[in-house]
Amino acid sequence: MNCMVCGESMGPPQRVNLPYRSLPGVLLVGIEAQTCAACGEIEYAIPGIEALNKRIVQLLVRKATRLAGSEIKFLRKFLGWSSKDTASRLGMQPETVSRWEAGTQLIGETPDKLLRMFVIHGQPVESYDLEQFDEVAKNEGEPIHLELAADQGWAPVAA
Ligand SMILES: [Zn+2]
């Protein structure tokens, strides 16, 4: 393998421990690293990043204390949400989410649990229409009106 910076050949692989860039506090143990003798560039080979992220998520949602800012950001990125989406779906102001992520404000118990629930149930992003969530916030709390057909597996009856 050649250096991606200067093109010289890289040194032999070595096992190193690498702090995970996506989540401070997570140390990746036994990562293969190669160093370029010419320019000092180090290249890391992180195997199975998807599995790694899933493992971190599984452990994060079981964390006994409130989520830290970097953890909130990690989980929302796992969900594929923007910070605006996150604010809307948790019923918060975007500025509040920014303060959580910056670590200047502790996330409340309720949004912390709600965020974990979204992650645990792993609902695809598409099933949460952002505009629909905005409607929820504006709604005055009228009872839902449904017509469900018994002979069609309780499918909604088209209006
Ligand atoms: Zn180099």
* Contact predicate 75/90, CB 8 Å: no
66 alpha carbon to ligand 1 midpoint, in Å? 42
Do residue 73 and residue 124 come from a single domain? yes
pTM to 2 decimals?
A: 0.75
45 alpha carbon to ligand 1 midpoint, in Å? 16
Asked whether residue 142 is assigned to any structural domain, the reply reads: no
Do residue 54 and residue 108 come from a single domain? yes
Asked whether residue 76 is assigned to any structural domain, the reply reads: yes
Do residue 70 and residue 112 come from a single domain? yes
What are the CB-based long-range contacts (under 8 Å, 24+) for 1-8? 1/34, 1/43, 3/36, 3/38, 3/39, 3/41, 3/43, 4/41, 4/43, 5/36, 5/39, 5/41, 6/36, 6/38, 6/39, 6/41, 8/36, 8/37, 8/38, 8/39
Task: Report, as ranges of residue numbers, the positions in the chain whose pLDDT lies below 70.
Answer: 123-142, 144, 159
Do residue 31 and residue 72 come from a single domain? no
124 alpha carbon to ligand 1 midpoint, in Å? 41
Q: Quick one: pLDDT at residue 137? A: 59
Do residue 60 and residue 83 come from a single domain? yes
Q: Quick one: pLDDT at residue 13? A: 94
Do residue 63 and residue 117 come from a single domain? yes
**CATH number for the domain harbouring residue 82:** 1.10.260.40
Q: Quick one: pLDDT at residue 44? A: 92
Q: Quick one: pLDDT at residue 48? A: 86
Do residue 78 and residue 26 come from a single domain? no
15 alpha carbon to ligand 1 midpoint, in Å? 19
Q: Quick one: pLDDT at residue 49? A: 87
2 alpha carbon to ligand 1 midpoint, in Å? 8
Give CA 130 to chain center in angstroms.
17
Total domains present in the chain: 2
Q: Quick one: pLDDT at residue 105? A: 97
Q: Quick one: pLDDT at residue 3? A: 94
What is the residue range of 40's domain? 1-47
